[in-house]
Chain A
Amino acid sequence: MSAKKIKGEKQPKSERKAGKVKGKVKTATKLARAMLGRVIMGRHANGMRRVAITGMGTINALGRDVPSTLEAMREGRCGIGPLEFRDVERLAIRIGGQVRDWEPETYFNRQQIVLYDKFTQFTLLAAREAVAQSGLIFEGELGTQSGVVLGTAAGGMNTWDENYRTVYEEGKNRVHPFVVPKLMNNAACSHLSMEYGLLGPSFTVATACASSNHAMGLAFNMVRSGAATVMLTGGSEAMLCFGGVKAWEGLRVMSKDACRPFSATRNGMVQGEGAGIFVFEDWEHAVARGADILAEVVGFAMSADAQDIVMPSAIGAQRTIAGAMLDAHIRPDEIGYINAHGTGTAANDKTECAAVAHAFGHHADRLMISSTKSMHGHLIGGTGAVELLACIMALRDGVIAPTIGYEEPDPECALDVVPNEAREAKVEAVLSNAFAFGGLNAVIALRKA
């Protein structure tokens, strides 16, 4: 253990501080419900902190960093193509948004690779970019006040797959000693905390396709409440291996040729892989150190449909969209863009469009909604994180990422889905939707910084 971490553990000051803030929040809730939404400098009138995004990083089928990914989104480029891995010829579904020519040796040493499943590798790479951009160094008190919340659905799926092969297919009776620490869902979170000496609240959430939106929503609430000063958050997924794709194949909702969300010609979803990591920081802290604030996280809502293990509910989605706007104190007509869950399945796209139409009323015809899954595929537990990049691009650069592969309008998806070509538009506030299998919904709201 490093000296930095030991030093951090001996700092009760931060705990005292956290307790104090908690008390403050309680009183504020009683006092000032009516004042909610008013912002005085870096704090809300109720004592809650504002939350800045000061760093972002990614790796996905579109690129190995944020600039290349955003450039691809601007150009409406498709990162989906033929899958390349062992036994792919035994699959009925052979396309995906794969990170091509992945050689972990380029980024990690032998000892690291022994412990890092691909989903951890993706996480660490994306985090390097995000933390470097933020300019933060987690020393002393800041280390104890900072943590990690990540989302993943399958964790170390490649490690499971490879080692099941070893014992079942090859009949061996011995596996590598680090199989468990490599495949566990919290491995990426733990390695991230170790890499940067983050000693605060850290954990992983698994809510299938909503995992990283849930993670980012929790991270947002932790910074907002004062429980943490900085949170590294987002998610990662690396399910593109024989077992991972074979399992999805079984559901019969996968497309064999392309992901065409909202298009009448759509025929299913396409899997992707990669990670998106963000630095969520106490606004005052970010301003005090002169950080470049990329966007403000202003609201989050989550809910359960309590209905069906795979079929989504329009009411559940609508409640969550409305809840995020309420939490953000944003009027529906202030939302200019929604990054849709938009999986390209009949069940999701129709339900999501109905939910948006109901949640926004007339304004539904004025806002833009696109699914970038058409370009990078569905990153399952990491998808909301990569999609948040499109939200930040909309706010910061005034560029709305398109829904590519769009061929024919579907009367049940009669919204402005920004078909095929990116569009320039000024937007002040955006939402990012995630509606998971199991009926678990998570919607995040961002505002221009």
Chain B
Amino acid sequence: MTEIRERIIQIIAEQAMLDPSELKPEMSPEEIGIDSLGLVESIFAIEEAFDISVPFNANEPEKSDFDISSLGAIIDAVEKLVAEKA
């Protein structure tokens, strides 16, 4: 599971052009400096990295089944999706 966590942090950090050490689980995408377009791109990268499908609609991100309120929430949701796949 730490592997998944590290990989996600790496993806998000790369998108935000930050060092992975600067990211904290409680930070929201906005706080990290990721806008809606950046979020769509990050989710695409996550799907590619873990070979999963993330239920995310950019029209209503807050209503999606996928919680994107914080980095920690994203990590939890991806871990769940990866576990469901296995």
Contacts and interface: CB of A to CB of B under 8 A. Distances in A.
B1 interface: no
B40 A268 contact: no
B58 A251 contact: yes
The residue in A251, A252, A268 that gathers the most chain B C-beta atoms within 10 A of its C-beta is A252
B44 A250 contact: yes
A267 B60 contact: yes
Contact residues of A: prevailing secondary structure: loop
Contact of A266 (B40, B43, B53, B59): B59
Interface string B35-67: 011001001100000000100111110000000
Contact residues of B: prevailing secondary structure: loop
Contacts of A250: 40, 44
Nearest to B43: A252
A345 B40 contact: no
A266 B60 CA distance: 9
B43 to A, nearest CB: 8
B60 A253 contact: no
Interface string B19-40: 0000000000000000011001
Contact of B40 (A92, A252, A346): A252
A268 B59 contact: yes
B37 A345 contact: no
Interface in A277-314: 309-311
Interface in A218-269: 250-253, 255, 266-268
B20 to A, nearest CB: 25
Contacts of A345: 59
B57 A268 contact: yes
- How many chain A residues sit at the interface, stated as a range, is 10 to 19
B36 A311 contact: yes
- How many chain B residues sit at the interface, stated as a range, is 10 to 19
Contacts of A311: 36-37
Contacts of A251: 40, 58
A440 B53 CA distance: 32
Contacts of B36: 311
B59 A267 contact: yes
B44 to A, nearest CB: 7
A310 B36 CA distance: 10
A211 B16 CA distance: 33
Nearest to A253: B58
Contacts of B56: 252
A255 B57 CA distance: 8
A126 to B, nearest CB: 31
Contacts of A255: 59
Contact of B57 (A267, A309, A310, A347): A267
The residue in B37, B58, B60 that gathers the most chain A C-beta atoms within 10 A of its C-beta is B58
Nearest to B54: A252
B37 A346 contact: no
A311 B37 CA distance: 9
Contacts of B53: 92
A252 B43 CA distance: 10
Interface string A332-367: 000000000000011100000000000000000000
A253 B44 contact: no
Contacts of B37: 309-311
A252 B59 CA distance: 8
Contacts of B44: 250
Contacts of A253: 57-59
Nearest to A256: B57
Contacts of B60: 267, 346
B51 to A, nearest CB: 15
Contacts of A266: 59
A311 B59 CA distance: 12
B52 to A, nearest CB: 13
Contacts of A346: 59-60
Nearest to B58: A252
Interface of A: 92, 250-253, 255, 266-268, 309-311, 345-347
5 contacts: A255-B59, A266-B59, A345-B59, A346-B59, A346-B60
Q: Which 10 A-B pairs have the closest CB atoms?
A: A252-B58, A346-B59, A268-B59, A253-B58, A252-B40, A345-B59, A267-B59, A252-B57, A253-B59, A252-B56
Given A251-B40, A255-B59, 7 more contacts: A251-B58, A252-B56, A252-B58, A252-B59, A267-B59, A346-B59, A346-B60
Interface of B: 36-37, 40, 43-44, 53, 56-60
